[in-house]
Amino acid sequence: MEKLLEMLEDLAPGTDVATATDLVDGHHLDSLAILSLVADLEDEFDITIPAVEIIPANFNSAEALWAMITRRMEE
C-alpha cells in the first residue's frame, strides 16, 4: 500500500491521497494520469488490469485501488 500511495502522490500532488475518496470524481486524476497509473501498477505489482476494471469506482480512493490490486494479484 505504501508504494501505491507514493505513486498517487506523484500523480496528484497536494492531494491527501491516503484519505481522498474522489480521486477521479474530484478531478485529482485525469485520464492520462489513470493510464499512466495502470501501466505503473501492472509493472510494480506484476498484475494485468483489464479494461473492465478501469472504472471510477476502482480509482476514486487508495483503498479501492488497493482492493483491486489485491484482487488482481489473487487471480
pLDDT at residue 74 in the model: 95
pLDDT at residue 31 in the model: 94
pTM confidence score: 0.93
Q: What is the pLDDT of residues 9-65, one digit of tens each?
A: 999 999 999 999 999 999 999 999 999 999 999 999 999 999 999 999 999 999 999
Q: What are phi and psi of 69, to 5 degrees?
A: -60, -45
How far CA 49 is from CA of 26, 53, 57, in Å, comes to 22, 6, 14
How far CA 8 is from CA of 1, 13, 31, 75, in Å, comes to 11, 8, 14, 24
Full set of structural domains in the chain with CATH: 2-11+22-74 (1.10.1200)
pLDDT at residue 57 in the model: 97
pLDDT at residue 10 in the model: 96
First to last CA, the chain: 18
